[in-house]
Amino acid sequence: MTRLRSAVDSPPAVFALISMFVALVSLWTIRIPRVAGDSSFGFQSLVCWLVVLAVLGVLLLRNLRLEVASLLAAELVLVAWYAWETWLATTTSYSSQYDFVGTDLVGPAWYAAALGLLFAAAVVARRYRDSDLNVGAETWWLAAVPGFGLLRFDRTARGLLWTTLVAAALWLASLDSPIAPVFQTVNGMQNLPDPLPTRTPTWILLGIAVLLAVLSAADTIRMRRRLLS
């Protein structure tokens, strides 16, 4: 019971659990009948369960190194799955039907899981900040989650600014999709929308998200060097 209570010892921890629940009960993939794609909820997806277990590891484990490892595992699974959906959109079954982009195929549960990851990262960064440990290698790993390496140094506003910018770019990229997966209904689309002249805006927003994530990591590394010098 003590360990369970410690899992919800802060608002970010509570929101992380809520996000994981939403990820389990929401659509992980959307249904596109024209492409023979079927919908699946998070609890039907092994990927979703892996992320949920990793985030639970962050909240329940009382070893900071293991918490960071769990956090990175959740992030790697989410990034790998997003990359897989992006590749899937280029295969013949999809590309011959419509000019799909990976964001068209990602269901809302992925975004809920990503939000849970951010809350879990806040929990780890806060625990490191409140500990008596000197700044170490954990900074490099926390920097993998945009903005949260800076929270380790108590630069909360600066870190959350990077997080907001990266999240906004990903969110806008999803909204640019004419299929609008964030608002996709359970029944899916019976007919594909009219093709857009170009999908360049989506790719630009995704590129911006990656660039901002890299700049966030660079800012964290620079802050680390400044504090240790």
Give every CB contact of residue 219 below 8 A, 6+ residues apart in sequence.
150, 158, 162
What's the pLDDT at 165?
Answer: 95
Residue with tokens 């000197």: 134
Among candidate residues 56, 214, 81, 78, the one with its CA nearest the CA of residue 149: 214
CA distances for 41 relative to 175, 178, 184, angstroms:
20, 22, 13
- pLDDT digits (tens), the chain, 229 positions: 445 455 566 788 889 999 999 999 988 887 777 776 677 888 988 999 999 999 998 888 878 888 889 999 999 999 999 999 889 888 888 888 888 888 888 888 999 999 999 999 998 888 887 776 666 677 778 888 898 888 877 788 888 999 999 999 998 888 877 777 666 666 666 677 777 788 888 899 999 999 999 999 998 888 877 776 6
What's the pLDDT at 1?
Answer: 47
- Through-space distance between the first and last CA atoms of the chain, rounded to whole angstroms: 43
Reduced to 3 states (helix: H, G, I; strand: E, B; else coil), residue 52 is helix
Residue 170: count of CB within 10 angstroms of its CB: 22
Query: Taking a C-beta distance cutoff of 8 angstroms, is the pair 78, 107 a contact?
Result: no
Say how far apart CA 109 and CA 22 lie, in whole Å.
Answer: 7
Which helix (H) or strand (E) element contains residue 22? helix 11-25
